[in-house]
Structure formats: C-alpha cells, structure tokens
Amino acid sequence: MLLNKQERAGAGVWHEHTSMSGIVVEGLRHLYRPKRGAPVLALEDVTLSVGDQEFIALLGPSGCGKSTLLYLMGGFLPVETGLITMDGAPVAGPGPDRGVVFQHFALFPWKTVLQNVLYGLERQPLARGEREARALAFIKMVGLSGFENNYPSQLSGGMKQRAAIARTLAIDPKALLMDEPFGALDAQTRHLMQTELLAIWRRSPKTVIFVTHDVQEAVYLAERIVVMSARPGRIKEIVTVGLDKADPELTRSSAFAQMSDHVWSLVRDEAIKAQAGVGP
C-alpha cells in the first residue's frame, strides 16, 4: 500500500504516528559547511514521524543526505533549522536512548569482544557482575558465544558487526540508528546479517532507522521505506512495505519483486537527477 497524495504532500508527512512517542522530525533544514569551499544544502524541509518500535529504512541516491539525517537524529550534528524530538523531548545531543551502529564496526581493536560490549555499560549504575552477565547475554543473542575473549582482528567482518550490534543493544537504547551497517560485508554475510537483525528486532523490539542504498535490503527489512530525493534531500515518497517478513521464501516471491521494482523506480529517477547535478 502506498501513501495517497494528501499523505505525501509537501515534505512527505506521515500522519499515522501522531503521539509523542518515537522520533519526530519537523521542518528540518541542514546546511553542510565544509572546511573549504562553499556551504552545501544537504536537507530541505524534511518532516517525518517514526513510531515507537517501528522499523523504517532511509533510501536514496548517494549524497541525498540520508546519513546526515541519521546523524542529526543521533544528536551528532546540531539542528539549526527545524526540530527533532525523541518521545517529545528535543534532541540536543547524543544520548543513551539512541544507539548508533556504523558501517565500519567502530570496535576498539585493543579490547576483546566482551570488553567492547562492556564498554557501553560502564557508565550504567550496575554491579560489575550484573554488567558482565548482561554483556554475555547480548553476545549470546547475536551468536558470538565462544568468541568473548577474541579481539576484533581475530573476527570476520560479519562477526565484528555482530559485536558492534551487541555493544549497542547492551545499553538498551529505545532507538537503534544504523548507518549502512552491512555495506562493507560480502553478499552472503550481508544476507545472513539482515536475517539476524530481523530476528533480534523481534526478540527485543526497538525503533530502528536503517540507512541503506540497497533497494532489496530496504524492502526485506523495513516496515516503511522513506525514499529521499536528490540533494538537497527531501522526502519524495513513503512506501508501506506490507510483506510477511517471517516468510522464508519472501525474497523469491512475486510480491517482493513487485515492491522492489516499484521502490527502485522511485530511487532511479532521483539517482539520474543526482548524476546530472539536478535537484528535485
């Protein structure tokens, strides 16, 4: 099911989630200021509401501002124009309610898997034994039992990302912000990690905002896909996926192919504009 014209008018507001819970972006505009060269308008008039425990994907051509939008939600960049709230409170910086998983793992190479996961728990008011028990539980959840004492250099790419996800989940954030977390993995490992992420999300439901440039990944993972325009990034359309993610044959179904084709047609038009240097 796709949004009707009224629902996606203007900046593409979604009206289903109007409560104070979740992440709400209103009238966001962001100007990127490089150290050299002229400022670049990265985002323009972005308005979006993400419901509590909803899984959405941000999808669009390279340079459309999807990662910038994620970092603004995470509090890593200042909001200059517009407003971002988490459960009704303005986002003014990073916080434990929002956990971030990056593409390149961001593990401490001198710490073991267990020490990496424990790192995020060190500021929480837990006894040492409780922290270790919690860390081990999340290591088990992501399938790394037996590798607690291994260093990142001793792990495969997929295992490193599992460790990074365990470290983020261990602090129990309400929202999980993921910036192309599987982009550096080979195709087989990437698919395995996608399946594992969905399983983790079902076991420990959280709001997930997942940045990707892969149409099929977005369709496979997300409940809704936010398709962004060529820079300056605006919301072009919000697509409700509506597929049975528990179906083991999902990616081979005609419904999956049709949805992927539809979303790709939206992205392709913007990718062509981006290559030509023409905004929306």
Burial class (CB in 10 A: 0-12, 13-18, 19+), 111: middle
Hey, what amino acid is at 180? E
Whether the CB-CB separation of 173 and 99 falls below 8 Å is answered with yes
Place 16 in a pLDDT band, splitting at 50, 70 and 90: very low
| Domains and their CATH numbers in the chain | 1-97+207-280 (3.40.50.300)
Most confident of 117-121, 236-240, 245-249: 236-240
The whole-model pTM stands at 0.86
**What confidence tens digit (pLDDT) does each residue in 182-200 have?**
888 888 888 888 998 998 8
